[in-house]
Amino acid sequence: MIKTEEDYLKDLVGFASVSGDISESKKCAQYCANFFEDKGLLTHILEYEGYPSIIATTKNTKQPKILLYCHLDIVPGKPELFIMKKTDGKLKGRGVFDMKFACASYMKIIDRLGSEVKNYDFGVMLVFDEEIGGHNGTEALLNNGFGCKACILPDSGQDWNIECNAKGAWFLRVSKAGKNAHASVPFEGINAAELLLPVVSKILELRDSYKYEDLSLNLTKNFSGAAMNQIPDYAEVIFDIRYRDESILKQIRRQIGQICTENDAKLETVEIGKCMNVDKDNEYVKKFIPIAEKVLGRKIKHADSAGSTDGRYFGSKGIPCIVIQPRGGNRHGDDEWIETGGMEKLTEMILQFIKQYAKIS
């Protein structure tokens, strides 16, 4: 039986490869590795801190011309979400849109190339930790010398718009130290939780002076106190900040830094991810667009993204990413979906792109 994109996607959705579930990730990785190996690709399962990654290439190289990227880790979901369903022109299930569809499409591309696959210079990169930072997947692989001339990274976008800018993320911890005391004699202690409150308010007020497209700022974690009858000697909050570019990051850092200094609060970076900016005039982006437009039978637009992807790691190595997706929605939600027919169009686009620009002469 010849499998379709939907058949492959159904198989992939069946793996509950939630980020951090190493055992289920490895099962999913093995399924994919077996597939690519059977089709004649040089296939390696690499491991970083226990997280599997797969690199499968047509040639023996760490630098194929074109790399097809997909993260196969997903956010948790109810058990029924791991059985793909098809209704009203939509495929539904955990990971159908974020972003197992891409791997299904890559499998079909390899199928369609058949024995011709060796005539082209490209590879597939599959990772299992994108949702939790990408350090033990894409970042590690790129730092280990894997790379390409252009990467197809369909992990963001709306209705086939091509994305050239994605926000960076800055996760920061703001904390305040105090002194324990019994809650009945508060003057004997210093209440860290209460002292942190005005600092939090001042930081939250900053977002009013930014456009959402430039910056989002949210309080996402809040922690203090060990017992309910004790004055807490420590309090901390975590903020999730997404920024458009380096100048916005510099500005918000300065503003938050000043508030913390004035209020004697401690500021620490938990994690920082760069933004991704692809040059619209990059030769590979320019080559991909007419192919995509021909497949869709219409013009496509450039768009910016509010989220961030592993594209930032490619960007920091100077590798352009082509970020384009079928229609879909509710990523991370119970109603996650992708349009039927979308994967088939993506397959066609990438196949034509490979045939035109990755042929070994």
- For binding to Zn ion (CB under 5 A), which residues are involved? 98-99, 155
Taking each helix axis from N to C terminus, what angle separates 101-113 and 342-357, rounded to the nearest 10 degrees? Answer: 50
- Please report where in the chains the tokens 């955990």 appear, as a residue: 94
Q: Quick one: 99 or 200, whose CB is closer to Zn ion?
A: 99
| Shortest Cβ 254–Zn ion spacing (Å) | 31
| Shortest Cβ 62–Zn ion spacing (Å) | 24
Contact by Cβ (8 Å): 179, 233: yes
CA pair distance 68, 102, nearest whole angstrom = 9
Residue 305, CB half-sphere, CA atoms under 13 Å: how many?
A: 30
| Shortest Cβ 156–Zn ion spacing (Å) | 7
Q: Quick one: 123 or 134, whose CB is closer to Zn ion?
A: 134
Q: Quick one: 101 or 353, whose CB is closer to Zn ion?
A: 101
**66-71 and 150-152 beta bridge pairing:** parallel
CA pair distance 12, 15, nearest whole angstrom = 6
- Please report where in the chains the tokens 């692809």 appear, as a residue: 278
As given in the structure block, the two tokens for residue 252 are 């918000």
| Shortest Cβ 235–Zn ion spacing (Å) | 33
Contact by Cβ (8 Å): 312, 274: yes
CA pair distance 128, 146, nearest whole angstrom = 16
**168-177 and 266-273 beta bridge pairing:** antiparallel
- Strand, helix or coil for residue 214: coil
| Shortest Cβ 164–Zn ion spacing (Å) | 18
Q: Quick one: 120 or 337, whose CB is closer to Zn ion?
A: 337
- Pinpoint the alpha helices (H) of 63-183: 101-113, 140-143
The count of other CB atoms within 10 Å of the CB of residue 255 is 14
Q: Quick one: 99 or 127, whose CB is closer to Zn ion?
A: 99
Q: Quick one: 42 or 303, whose CB is closer to Zn ion?
A: 303
| Shortest Cβ 251–Zn ion spacing (Å) | 28
Q: Is 185 exposed, middle or buried (0-12, 13-18, 19+ CB in 10 A)?
A: exposed
CA pair distance 73, 21, nearest whole angstrom = 9
| Shortest Cβ 127–Zn ion spacing (Å) | 10
- Strand, helix or coil for residue 305: strand
As given in the structure block, the two tokens for residue 17 are 């490869």
| Shortest Cβ 174–Zn ion spacing (Å) | 28
Q: Quick one: 39 or 332, whose CB is closer to Zn ion?
A: 332
Query: Residue 31's closest CA among 49, 47, 45?
Result: 45
| Shortest Cβ 157–Zn ion spacing (Å) | 11
C-alpha separations of 111 from 29, 31, 153, 344, 359 in Å: 18, 15, 20, 13, 17
Q: Quick one: 132 or 206, whose CB is closer to Zn ion?
A: 132
Q: Quick one: 99 or 291, whose CB is closer to Zn ion?
A: 99
Q: Quick one: 98 or 233, whose CB is closer to Zn ion?
A: 98
| Shortest Cβ 360–Zn ion spacing (Å) | 31
